[in-house]
């Protein structure tokens, strides 16, 4: 049993699919206060901030797990879209291009601390405009880093991939399993 200190339904689904027992807990760390020069630095600082907050709030009697994910086009962080227009602009920066999805994961128990920074790289074909509009209407992009869903809308546009799907979905579970089971 562990505490997943994240409101992400996708991270919860990943843990469920690997039959990891957990209780989902909220995180009160404000990542909007972070300043960083690179996407890797940002995702590391966000995870470290969440992790420190979670240790103070929940302790480590029950192991804790925190994560953060960013999408980058190689130049900038493609954050969670604020609205439909922002989602369109962010997704169009990924259409027909290479993107990196970076996930930082932190785990702590009484006997072990793990910090992992992983990247999955995708090259996407150009998005179909009609399907993009339908995706925007669906609101599935809401709350997703870069508005990107490699398990949903973006899946059919993947031309090539280097890295783990779980990393791109927000929790690189394969790297944690040997330590949390």
* DSSP 8-class letter at 174: H
To the query of whether residue 137 is one of the catalytic residues in this protein, the response is no
Question: Phi/psi of residue 166, each to 5°?
Answer: -60, -35
**In this structure, what token pair is assigned to residue 134?**
């339908």
Instruction: Give the integer Cα–Cα distance in Å for 42 and 146.
Output: 14
Q: Given the residues 16, 30, 37, 68, select the one marked as catalytic.
A: 68
* DSSP 8-class letter at 84: H
CA distances to 100, 109, 142 from 147, rounded to whole Å, are: 13, 32, 7
* DSSP 8-class letter at 151: T
**β-strand partners of 78:** 71
In the numeric block, the tokens 């508005």 are attached to 147
- Helix boundaries (H) for 35-164: 39-58, 84-92, 129-138
Whether 12 contacts 171, CB under 8 Å:
no
Instruction: Give the integer Cα–Cα distance in Å for 26 and 136.
Output: 27
Q: Which residues are known catalytic residues?
A: 68
């Amino acid at each position: 049993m562990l505490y997943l200190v994240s409101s992400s339904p996708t991270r919860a689904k990943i843990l469920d699919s690997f039959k990891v027992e957990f209780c989902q807990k909220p995180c009160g760390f404000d990542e909007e206060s972070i300043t960083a020069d690179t996407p890797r630095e940002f995702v590391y600082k966000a995870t470290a901030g969440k992790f420190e907050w979670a240790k103070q709030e929940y302790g480590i009697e029950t192991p804790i797990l925190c994560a953060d994910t960013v999408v980058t086009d190689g130049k900038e962080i493609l954050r969670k879209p604020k609205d439909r227009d922002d989602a369109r602009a962010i997704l169009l920066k990924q259409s027909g291009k290479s993107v990196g999805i970076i996930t930082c994961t932190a785990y702590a128990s009484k006997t072990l601390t793990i910090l992992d920074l992983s990247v999955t790289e995708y090259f996407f074909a150009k998005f179909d405009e009609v399907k993009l509009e339908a995706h925007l209407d669906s609101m599935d992009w809401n709350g997703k880093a870069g508005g990107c869903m490699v398990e949903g809308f973006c899946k059919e546009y993947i031309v090539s991939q280097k890295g783990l799907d779980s990393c791109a979905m927000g929790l690189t579970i394969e790297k944690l399993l040997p330590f949390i089971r």
